[in-house]
Amino acid sequence: MGCPYYKKEMFFSRRSVLTQEYMGLDEQGNDNVVFPLDEPSTEGNTGPNNIQHRYLTEDVPIGCKIYHDLGQQYHVPTPIIDAMITLAGAMHNENFFTESRYDLAYLGIANLSKAELLDYLNEGKLTAKQAN
């Protein structure tokens, strides 16, 4: 199966790069649905239209928070993600760094070394000792 391939121009559309997973590719291997960022669009699914949008209420305190925690655990700076978490939290008057219940312990990977995490991700191997 392998890792999916995305052409560079697919990252410059108002749609997610995952559009190709849902809408397929044309005969030349391009997205079937493209809404270029530098052109006006009437497409309804172009992003949040208020602060209650799931990008801010789910993706930031869950997804971005996990990326932040991974960065902390493995000493990788995440300044852009941290800024997103700070801004979304400010919009919601919450501290998503401390108030989100989703963290590496929740996922059962808090105590893994880098090698153990890679083994788990690539091979699905996780011992009971590692999960604790």
List, for residues 100-110, the tens digit of each pLDDT value: 899 999 999 99
Show Cβ contacts of residue 100 under 8 Å, excluding neighbours closer than 6 positions: 61, 62, 65
pTM exceeds cut of 0.85: no
Top mean pLDDT of 11-20, 36-45, 76-85 is at 76-85
**Taking a C-beta distance cutoff of 8 angstroms, is the pair 130, 111 a contact?**
yes
Residue 38 CB-density burial (10 A; 0-12 exposed, 13-18 middle, 19+ buried): exposed
Q: Which two tokens stand for residue 2?
A: 């392998």
84 Ramachandran zone, left/alpha/beta (phi>0; psi -120 to 50): alpha
Q: How confident is the model at residue 128 (pLDDT cuts 50, 70, 90)?
A: low
